[in-house]
Amino acid sequence: MTARIIDGKAFAAGLRARVAEGAAAFAAAAGRKAGLAVVLVGDDAASAVYVRSKHKATLAAGMKSFEHRLPAATVQDALIALVRQLNADDAVDGILVQLPLPKHIDEQAVVEAIDPAKDVDGLTPISTGRLALGLDGLVPCTPLGSMMLVEDVLGDISGKDAVVIGRSILVGKPMAQLLLAKNATVTIAHSRTKDLPALVARADIVVAAVGRAGMVKPDWVKPGAVVIDVGINRTDAGLVGDVDPAVFAVAGAMTPVPGGVGPMTIACLLRNTLVAAHRRVGVPMTTPL
114 φ, ψ (degrees, to nearest 5): -75, 135
Are 92 and 63 in contact, with CB atoms under 8 Å apart? Answer: no
Measured distance CA(229)–CA(206) in Å, rounded: 8
Are 76 and 104 in contact, with CB atoms under 8 Å apart? Answer: yes
Catalytic residue (choose from 33, 64, 98, 229): 98
Q: Is 53 exposed, middle or buried (0-12, 13-18, 19+ CB in 10 A)?
A: middle
Q: Answer whether the bond into residue 125 is a cis peptide, omega within 30°.
A: no
CA angle 210, 211, 214 (to 5 degrees): 95
Give the side-chain half-sphere CA count within 13 A for 212: 9
- Residues paired with 240 in a beta bridge: 233
Is 108 catalytic? The answer is no
Is 85 catalytic? The answer is no
Helical pair 8-30 and 45-60, crossing angle rounded to 10 deg: 60
Catalytic residue (choose from 33, 54, 173, 222): 54
- Positive or negative torsion for Cα 60, 64, 70, 75: negative
Measured distance CA(260)–CA(207) in Å, rounded: 12
Catalytic residue (choose from 115, 121, 229, 242): 121
Is 177 catalytic? The answer is no
DSSP secondary structure string for all residues of 237-251: TEEE-SB-GGGGGT-
Catalytically active residues, by annotation: 54, 98, 121
